[in-house]
Amino acid sequence: MNEHMLKRIQSGAPGSIYATVLKEEKVCLVRVGSYDEVRGRYNQMACLIGAISMRALQEKHPKALHSTAALPGTWVDRFGEGRPISSPAELFDAAGQPPSSFGDSVGFLAYHADWPHNAERLLSGMQNACKAMSNLADVFYQPTFRSSVTVGGSMEVSAVRRVQEALKVAKKEGRPVFEEEKLLEFMDLVVNAKFLHLFHEVASSH
């Protein structure tokens, strides 16, 4: 596992993620889950967005835009010794399994706005989706400086729509998604909550 990523994860765990939501015109703080659990949901979103983006680019743009360019859809884990992400199937498979180091790597790429080659340029809605995923990941990877992030905007809607598209493809192809109901609940918060927060419990000094 990438050492830089591991340090970020260690600084976030064993905290909990909370959401600020409006209920009956009252501002409420709701616990979403543990840091690791919710980060796993984020990683699933990243894997699913990556899967449909890679597939769309490979199908619609099978040739490089110029002679020295990488093929659209090419995705290399630049934080993982340049390991190529081989196919959309690999990403769908990761979204269908419990949290893994591969899922962590994909989520860390999404945090750095690193997606399949030319995804933001050639695919409708991806620019906003990418921005939303980078912003959302701050609560996981910048816990010291950005322990709260704003959600519920148009960019988050774009990201969730990309995931919904991927879920339809997964269902059509008979690909299971790990704890899909919990993933859907998290996506609903991403669209409808006001903020996500990372909190750590400390023993009272009194």
Compute the distance between CA of residue 196 and CA of residue 151 in angstroms, rounded to an integer: 7
Per-residue pLDDT tens digits for 38-55? 999 999 999 999 999 999
Q: What is the mean pLDDT of the chain?
A: 89
Confidence of residue 205 (pLDDT cuts 50, 70, 90): low
Q: What is the pLDDT of residue 67?
A: 47
pLDDT reading at 71 higher than 60: yes
pTM of the full structure: 0.91
Per-residue pLDDT tens digits for 165-192? 999 999 999 999 999 999 999 999 999 9
Q: What is the pLDDT of residue 65?
A: 54
Average pLDDT score over residue span 146-154: 92
